[in-house]
Amino acid sequence: MGRDVCVPSICAACGGKCCQIYKPASEGGAFPDGHTWFTDWLSDWYDVFEESGAFSFMPPLFDPIIAHENSGRGKRYREALRRAGIDPDYCQYWSLKGCLLPRDKRPAACREYACERLRQAIADADKNLPEGEQA
Ligand code: SF4
Ligand code: SF4
- pLDDT per residue over 22-80, tens digit each? 998 889 888 887 667 888 899 999 999 999 999 999 999 999 999 999 999 999 999 99
Residue type (1 letter), 121: A
* Residue 135 within any structural domain of the chain: no
> What is the CB neighbour count within 10 angstroms for residue 117?
14
Element (H, E) at 12: helix 8-14
* Residue 15 within any structural domain of the chain: yes
- pLDDT, residue 132, reads 63
Query: Does 6 contact ligand 1 (Cβ within 6 A)?
Result: no
Residue 58: give the domain boundaries.
8-127
Q: How far is the CA of 1 from the centre of ligand 1 (A)?
A: 20
Residues 6+ apart with CB under 8 A from 50: none
Q: How far is the CA of 129 from the centre of ligand 2 (A)?
A: 29
- Going by pLDDT thresholds of 50, 70 and 90, the confidence category of residue 13 is confident
* Residue 3 within any structural domain of the chain: no
Nearest CA to ligand 2 atom 2: 99
- pLDDT, residue 50, reads 97
User: What is the pTM for the complete model shown?
Assistant: 0.86
Alpha carbon distance 79, 54 (integer Å): 25
For the chain, what is the domain count? 1
* Residue 106 within any structural domain of the chain: yes
Nearest CA to ligand 2 atom 1: 106
* Residue 134 within any structural domain of the chain: no
